Structure 1
Amino acid sequence: MADFPGDTAFHPHSAHWGAFSAGWQDGKLVVKPHPADPDPNLVLQNFPDALRHKARIARPMVRRGWLEGGPGPDRNRGRDSFVPVGWDEVLDLLAAELKRVKEAHGAGAVFGGSYGWSSAGRFHHAQSQVHRFLNTSLGGYVRSVNSYSAGASAVILPHILGPFEAMSRRNVTWEQVVAHSEVVLAFGGMALKNTMVASGGVSRHVERASMQAARERGCEFILVGPLRADLPEEAGAEWVSAIPGTDTALMLGLVHTLVSEGLHDRGFLEDCCEGWPVFEDYLMGRADGVAKDAAWAAGITGVPAEQIAALARRLVGKRTLVVTAHSLQRAEHGEQPVWMAAVLAAALGQLGLPGGGYNYALGALAHYGKRTNAVSCASLPQGRNRVQAFIPVARISDMLLNPGAAFAYNGQTLAYPDIRLVYWAGGNPFHHHQDLNRLREAFARVDTLVVHELGWTATAKHADIVLPCTMTLEREDIGGGPNDPLMVAMHRVAEPFGEARDDYTIFAALAERLGTAEAFTEGRSARDWLRHLYSHTQTALAAMGLPAPDFEEFWAKGELSLPQLPDDGGVLRAFRADPVANPLPTPSGKVEIFSATIAGFGYADCPGHPTWLAPADAPDAAHPLRLVANQPATRLHSQLDFGGHSMDSKLRGREVARMHPVDAAARGVADGDVIRLFNARGACLAAVRLTEDVRQGVVQLPTGAWYDPQDPAEDKPLCVHGNPNVLTRDVGTSSLAQGCTGQLTVVQVERFEGNLPPIQAFDPPVARMAAE
C-alpha cells in the first residue's frame, strides 16, 4: 500500500548520488533521475527496496545489559539482546546519562562521532545536527578532524601548495580537460563509480562524456594502478599496471629521467619552487648513494624501466595533467605520493596551466572538476564548541583504547581524551574504520554508546541506546552543494517507518529535557529552518541583481539554478601568472618541494621532501597477496547496502572479490566460488570473479558490505558477508597526518569448503521485553 494513497505525482528530491524525483505507482515507490542528468547514477535504485526493508529500525531500543546494569564498559556489546522502549522513556534515560557524564567528567568526555555522509540535505544533515546539539546542550564535545577519504592529503597539501579545497575543487575543471589537456596521467585512475557521488548532491554527471570528448580531440589518458577499470572505456586509457602502493617510486623514476636527460623545466623550478636543490640531491643519489632512476623504480613498482623512461619523455612538451586519486594516500606514508605528484607537475613546468599541472583527486568525487557557485546554499549552524580536544578521524580506536596516551599530529604532541560516552549520528564506523575486531574492543571500553540510525548496521547492534531515524525520503529538506548549480527542494515522499523520527525532532526533545531547547531550536520548526536557510540564498541572489524567488515559489517549483563563478584556475593559475603578486599560501609563497616546516617536525615517517618509504605491511609467505579495499560501485560507502541495486551486485548473497585467473588457479579457485580471505587480524568470506583486469598478485574487495560476524562471541569472528575492514590495518599514514591506511593490506586466499553460513547482516537483533 502506498505511503501517500492517491498521490500519483512525482516529487523532487536529492541524494549525494544525484538529483531525482520519486512517487508512487501501483503501491510501489518509483525513482526517476533528473531529466537534465546525462549519465544518471543507478545507486538511486537502492531507494525502492530499502524504504520498508526488514533492516529498518522501527522503534527505540536499549541494550539489555545497559538497561539492567547501567552505564559502564561491557564486552557484551554487539552480542546482547535489545529491549523496546517508548520514546518518552528512552529520551529520559538518555538525558539523564548525558547529565551524569557532563557533571562527573565534563563535556570533554563525550565524543561526537558522526562521521558519514548521511543526507544531501543542508538541514537534516546528521553531522550538523548532532554537533549543534552537543555544542548548545553540553557546551561542546571531542571532535574529529579531516576525513577517512583524504586524511593525509588534507594535511600535506597546505604545507606544499595551499588549501585542500583549492587543490581539489577550485583548480582544473573538466571543461579545461576537454579543451586543453593533451596527456592526463592518472595515478589511481578516475573511476566513474567515484565521480557518481558528490556531497550535497549532483544534478549532472559529466565525467564520462568529458573523457570521451577529450579523447576524441586527441588527449591521451594513462592509468597507473593495479585495476584496469579505474578509468572508463570512453577514456581509451593506456594501462600501466603497477604494484599497489608504489606510486611514489614510479614518480621518482619519471622525474629522474627528466632530470638526467635535461627535460625538466629549470626556470619554473628556480622561480616558482622552494628547495629543489635539496630534493635533487636525494633524487640523483648524491644524498644517500641511491639514484632513483627508472631501473631502481622498476624493481619496486613492477613496471619495466624502459616503460618508465619512455613515459617520462611522452610527458614533455605537452599540456600534461597529473592526477592522484584519494586511494594513493589511504595507505602507509600516504602523504608521499600526494607531494611527489606536485613535484612531477612542477618538474614538467605545468602547474597552473589550463588543463595542465596538478589537480588532486580529480575524478574522486562529482564536485571536483566543476565550477564553483557564486551563491552558497546555507547549512545548519553548529554553534561554538568549547572543548579543545580533537583526534584525527581515523584514530578513534586508539583514543578509546589509550586514554591519556600521547600522539603526534602535524607538528604537535597531543593526548587522547578519556571518553565515557560516544554519540554517533549519520555514520557507520563498522564501514569506515579499519581492523574491526580492534574497533569492537574499543567500543567495549566506553560507558555508553548512543546511535541514531535508520537501519540495523553493526554500529547500531553494538550500541546501548538506538534511536530510529527517518530516511531522507521521509522528511523535507534543501539539497545543494558548492559546485553544483542546482538547489533542490527535497519534498517528503513517504511516511516515517514505524516510530522513526528525524534527528532534529529527537535533539529538540532531548534539549527540552536538558533545559537548552531555545538554544538548540531558536524557536524554529523544521520548516521554519528551511525558510531561514533559504533566505540566505534569496538575499545573495537579490544583491547580485538576479531573480530571487521567495521560499514558497522555490518550494513549489522544486529547484533553483544558481549562478557560478568563472573557470579561472584558482590560486595555482594566479600564482603562475604572477608569483610575486599572487604567492601561494605556503611559508615560502612558492611550491614547497622541500619543506623546512615539515623537516623541523623531525618525523622519520614523513621527511622534509618527497621520499620513497617502503611499507611495513608487505607480502610474505603467509600472506602473499595484496588486497585493495576500494570504494563500492553500487552504493555510497555502506549506505543502503540492503537496497535493490546493491543486492543485485552481490553473488551468492555475498560481496564480490576480483582476482587474476593465475592467482586463482594456484589456489584451486574457480569463477563464482566463495573464498576465504584472511590474515592475522581477521577473516571474511566473499564470492569471487576472475578477471585479467586485476593485476596478478592483487585481490580487490570493495568496502561497504555490512559487517556480519558468524559468531559474535568470538574475539575474531569470521565475517560471512565480505567486509574487508576485518583485514585492514588500523595505523596512521604517518606522524604528520595520522590518516586512514585502509586501502591496502596483505592477505591469503583459499577456496571455502563446507556449508556456507547464512547472511544475517540485515536481520534485526533479538528483541526481548524488559520482564523477560
Structure 2
Amino acid sequence: MTETIEKPAGSRVAPSRRSFLKWSGVATGTATLLASSTNLGMPGHGPAAAADGMADADKTVWNACLANCQSRCPLRLQVKDGTVVRILPDNTGSDELGDLQVRACVRGRNQRERIYSPDRLKKPMKRAGERGEDKWEEISWEEAFDTIASEMKRVKENYGNEALWYHYGSGSTGGNITKRGTWPRLLNTYGGYLGQYGDYSTAQITAAYPYFFGDSTSSNSLEDAQFSQLQVMFGNNPLETRMSGGGELGVVQKVRKDFNVKTIVIDPRYSETALAAGDEWVPLRPGTDAALVAGLIHVMIEEGLHDQDFLDKYCVGFDEDHMPDGVPENNSYRAYLEGKGEDGTEKTAEWAADITGVPADRIRQLAREIAGAKPAAITQGWGPQRNATGENSSRAIFLLAAATGNVGIKGGGTGAREGNTTLPVAAFPLFDGEEPPVTTQISCFNWIDAIDHGPEMTATNGGVRGKDRLDVGIKLMVVNASNTLTNQHNDLNKTYETLADTDKCEFIVVIDHQHTDSAKWADILLPSTTNFEEFDMIPGASCGDTGWVIWGQQAIDPLYDTKTGYEMCTEIAKRLGIEEEFTQGRTQEEWRQYLYEQSKEAIPDLPSADELEELGIWRKHADTPFISLKEFREDPEANPMPTDSGKLEIFSKQLYDMNKEWEFDDDLDRLAPLPEQVQTYEDWKAARADGAKYPLQLMGHHYKGRTHSSYANLPRNKEAHPQKAWVNPVDADERGIDNGDFVDVFNDRGRMRIPALVTPRIAPGVVSVPQGAWHDPDKDGIDMGGCVNLLTKYHPSPLAKGNPANTALVEVEKYRG
C-alpha cells in the first residue's frame, strides 16, 4: 500500500538543528560532527581551519558549484564516514590577474545545507490529488520509468514530436554531463521535441544583437578595463550576481585596486557593485535607459563631442546621409534626436530628465565625461533588457559605445555584456548529427501560450521559428533542474491556471533534488542526485581572460533513493528501444573520459586525466585581454559585420520591414527600427499618471543569498540575506512606513507580505523585491515568501518574446494586522 503524502502549507521555515538532522537522514553518530563542522563562523573554524580543513577527514574531493551564476567555482568536499562534513574553497592560484584564486562565495560554500536539506526529494512519487495540490504517493522507479516511457509513446503517436517540450531552466547550468543535457539527448534520440530560443536572463539582448551587429557579440572583457580611462556599467552588477573570486567579482575588484579606473554605475538600485567598485551612482527609472542614452547623445552632438568619423565609416542609420535605401526621410537617429521624426519631440537633456528621473545637469555632465574619456569601457548587465522594451534598451547602449567611438579598441567595448576568454572544453552532445531532428522553435518564455493555444501561434504573432505556425500545443513537459515552471515565471496565478488544466498539457514530469514550488505541478516527480553524488568534467567561466577546467569527482554515494539524470534517461531509453543510440555504449564516467579526450585535442596542453584528478582545477590565461570586434575596427572592408550593410546598423531596415508584417495584441507593442525610448504598459509614464492605482515601478534584483531560486530554501542563506522590499524614504514617508515594518506589496495579480527595507539605495518611485524567493502563500493566498513573480506581468516582449519582469506596477502599504 502506497502512502499519500501531503506537504504542509507554509513549510519554508528554517528547521531546528534536531529536525534538520532528522530530515537529512544523518546517523546519530555523525550529528555532533555535522553540528560542529559548519563553514559559517562556528568556534574553532576560523581562517586557518578553513585553509587546512579537517585533518581526520577520510578524503577530500574536488567538484564545483553548478547553479547558474556563470562562475563555476571549484569546491573541495571533505568526507567523513560517507558524509560531507566540510566545504572548502579553491586553495590554488594567487591574487594576480590571470591566476586568480577561484574562491567560491557563501552560496557555494553552503552546499552542505543543500545536500542534507529537509526539502530533498528522496523517492519517486506520482500525483495523488489535483495537479498543484502537492499530494503524493511513493512509487517504485520501475513504475516511474514505465509511466514516463508510456506517456512519451502516447503523446508522440497521437500528436507528433512537436508536442514534447523540454522546459527551460538553469538549476544545473554549470555542469557538463550533470548539466540538463541528458534529457534533451533522450528526447532528441526519440525523434526530437519542440525547441526553444533565448533564455529568461537574456532574451531581449540576445534578440537585439542581430539587428545591430548581425549576430551575437559581446563587449571587451572586464579585465581589459585596465586600459580604460572610464568604465560605465548600465545595470551591470557582478559583485552580487557573480561573486566568484576568479570570476567577475575577482576581476572587477582587482582591476579597480591595481589600476584605479573610475567607474560609473547606472542602475535604479545602489547595488553592491556601485557601493564597492563604483565611484558614482546614477539612479534612473526602470526601462528608461534608451531615453538616457538619447539625452546623452543629444548633448554630445550639441557640443561636438560625439565621434562622427567613426559613425560615418562604421555605421548606418545615424544621420540622413547614411541611411538604407527605401526608407523615408527623417527616420535617422539624429532626426529622432532633433524632433524631426514621427513624435516631433527634441530629445534634450530636459526631455530625458523628465523620463529617467536623472537631473538634466547630471545628464550633461555625464555626456561630457563619457565622451571625453578615451577610451571608455561601456557595458551592460542583463537588468536593463529585462523589460517590455528591453531590445531597445540594449540597442541604445550599443549605440552609446558606437557614438563615442569605443568599439573594437583596447580599453573600449561595444556596449554589450562583457566578453571573456574560455577554453574549448567538449560538451556532452544533446543530439547526434548537424542539427536536432525537430527544428521548430518558440521563445523559452511564451510556452504557456503554446499550452493554451499552440496551433494559433505563428511566426508573426508568436515568434515561431522554423515553420509558419505550430501544428499542436505542448502536451508533455520534461522539467529538469528548473524552477521556472512556476516560481521564476511571470504572473504566478496565470501560470498556475494554465498548468492546472490537464486537458491542455496532459503530462508533466519534474526532476529535481529539492521540493521546489515547480515540483508541486508534476504528475511524476523524480528525485535526482546533486552533482556531488556523480562524476563530471566542468568547464569554468569568467568575465576575465582565464579559462579553467574542474575534474568533478563523486564525493558521496547517492543519498536516499535518488538517481543521476543519466541513469534515469538510460532506463527510459531502454523502454523506448533506443538505449544504444542514447548511451553509445558508455557509462557516465566513460562519457567523462570521452569528453576529456575530445577536449585534449582542442587544448593540447591540458593535463592528463590523472593529473587533472590530482590538481582538481587547471587554469589557462590568454596572452592578451579579449577585445570585441577588433578585426572589424582595424579593417571593416576585409572584416565586415554580418549585417546587410556590413556595418553596425543603428537603423535596422529588417525591423522596419518586419514591423509591417508582425501582429500584436497590444497597441503599444511594435518593432522599432531605431533604439528609441518606446512607451509600453505599466511603465514610468503609467506610474505617474493622475490617479494611478499602482504608482510604483516594480523591479526584481538579483540577490547574494540565491542564484535565481537556487539556495533560496537554505536556512543560513535566508538568515544572512532576509527577503525585504526595498523602498525609498520619500515613498515610505508618504505611506507611513518605517524600516522593518511589514508591508503589503500588491497589484491586481497578487499580494505579498514581507518586511520593508527603507533605504536611499533605491530610486524614488521604484520598489525592488529580490527575485528568486520561493512562493509561500498563506490560507488567504498572500505570499509570505516574497516571490516577485506573483506580481510581474505575463506579456512577452515584442521581438524576443522574452521576459519583461522589470515592467510592472505595484502599490505598497503598511501591514496593520
Normalising by the residue count of structure 1, what TM-score does the alignment of the two structures yield? Answer: 0.88
SS of equivalent residue, structure 1 residue 494:
coil
Choose which of 646, 662, 667 in structure 1 pairs with 2:717. Answer: 646
- 1 CA distance for matches of 2:266 and 2:793? 24
- CA change 1:540–1:718 in 2 (3 A) is same
SS of equivalent residue, structure 1 residue 328:
coil
Aligned residues: percent identity? 29
Partner of 2:267 in structure 1?
A: 225
Counterpart contact for 1:479–1:490, Cα < 8 Å: yes
The letter for the 2-side match of 1:738 is K
Structure 1 stretch displaced more, 212-221 or 505-514: 212-221
Choose which of 688, 691, 695 in structure 2 pairs with 1:624. Answer: 695
Choose which of 717, 722, 733 in structure 1 pairs with 2:797. Answer: 733
Where do 1:226-375 residues align within 5 Å?
226-229=268-271, 231-277=273-319, 278-288=332-342, 289-318=344-373, 319-362=375-418, 368=419, 370-373=420-423, 375=424
The letter for the 2-side match of 1:448 is F
| CA positional deviation for 1:28 | 5.7
Where do 1:410-559 residues align within 5 Å?
414-416=468-470, 417-429=472-484, 430-445=486-501, 446-481=505-540, 484-542=546-604, 546=605, 548-559=606-617
- CA change 1:549–1:259 in 2 (3 A) is closer
Counterpart contact for 2:75–2:104, Cα < 8 Å: no
- CA change 1:184–1:259 in 2 (3 A) is same
Q: Deviations over 1:399-446 (max 9, x none)?
A: 212221234366978535411111111211123211111111121231
Choose which of 577, 580, 583 in structure 1 pairs with 2:640. Answer: 583
- CA change 1:649–1:605 in 2 (3 A) is farther
- CA change 1:89–1:14 in 2 (3 A) is same
SS of equivalent residue, structure 2 residue 362:
helix
- 1 CA distance for matches of 2:127 and 2:582? 28
Counterpart contact for 1:215–1:236, Cα < 8 Å: no
Q: Deviations over 1:518-556 (max 9, x none)?
A: 0111111111111111111223334xxx3x544334334
Counterpart contact for 1:50–1:644, Cα < 8 Å: no
- CA change 1:578–1:28 in 2 (3 A) is closer
- 2 CA distance for matches of 1:663 and 1:471? 43
- CA change 1:399–1:268 in 2 (3 A) is same
The letter for the 1-side match of 2:609 is F
Partner of 2:327 in structure 1?
A: none
Choose which of 440, 446, 462 in structure 2 pairs with 1:389. Answer: 440
Counterpart contact for 2:697–2:808, Cα < 8 Å: yes
- CA change 1:468–1:218 in 2 (3 A) is closer
Counterpart contact for 2:102–2:245, Cα < 8 Å: no
Where do 1:397-416 residues align within 5 Å?
397-407=448-458, 408=460, 414-416=468-470
The letter for the 1-side match of 2:750 is G
- 2 CA distance for matches of 1:646 and 1:662? 30
| CA positional deviation for 1:242 | 1.2
Matched length = 712
- 2 CA distance for matches of 1:728 and 1:487? 38
Q: Deviations over 1:241-271 (max 9, x none)?
A: 2112111101000111111222221111111
- 2 CA distance for matches of 1:751 and 1:463? 36
Q: Deviations over 1:190-213 (max 9, x none)?
A: 3411122xxxxx671353553464
Partner of 2:249 in structure 1?
A: 207
Partner of 1:13 in structure 2?
A: 63
Q: Deviations over 1:312-359 (max 9, x none)?
A: 112223212222221111101111111111222211122112111324
- 1 CA distance for matches of 2:192 and 2:568? 18
SS of equivalent residue, structure 1 residue 321:
strand
Choose which of 233, 258, 271 in structure 2 pairs with 1:186. Answer: 233
Partner of 1:698 in structure 2?
A: 766
Q: Deviations over 1:421-479 (max 9, x none)?
A: 11111211123211111111121231111111101111111110001100111111111
- 2 CA distance for matches of 1:174 and 1:650? 27
- 1 CA distance for matches of 2:84 and 2:608? 33
Counterpart contact for 2:311–2:402, Cα < 8 Å: yes
Gaps of 5+ in 1: 66-75, 197-201, 363-367, 755-772
Partner of 2:783 in structure 1?
A: 719
Q: Deviations over 1:593-641 (max 9, x none)?
A: 1111111102662221111112211325321111111222112111122
- CA change 1:174–1:568 in 2 (3 A) is closer
Structure 1 stretch displaced more, 450-459 or 282-291: 282-291
Counterpart contact for 2:387–2:805, Cα < 8 Å: yes
SS of equivalent residue, structure 1 residue 231:
helix
- CA change 1:331–1:400 in 2 (3 A) is same
Where do 1:122-133 residues align within 5 Å?
122-126=176-180, 128-133=181-186
Counterpart contact for 1:627–1:745, Cα < 8 Å: yes
- CA change 1:112–1:749 in 2 (3 A) is same
- 2 CA distance for matches of 1:184 and 1:541? 33
The letter for the 1-side match of 2:90 is H
Gaps of 5+ in 2: 1-26, 35-55, 94-100, 320-331, 661-668
- CA change 1:236–1:569 in 2 (3 A) is closer
The letter for the 2-side match of 1:316 is A
| CA positional deviation for 1:672 | 2.0
Choose which of 107, 116, 131 in structure 2 pairs with 1:52. Answer: 116
Q: Does 1:561 align with 2:619?
A: yes
Partner of 1:41 in structure 2?
A: 105
| CA positional deviation for 1:381 | 3.7
The letter for the 2-side match of 1:276 is F
| CA positional deviation for 1:215 | 6.8
- 2 CA distance for matches of 1:403 and 1:537? 40
- 1 CA distance for matches of 2:299 and 2:369? 11
Counterpart contact for 2:212–2:648, Cα < 8 Å: yes
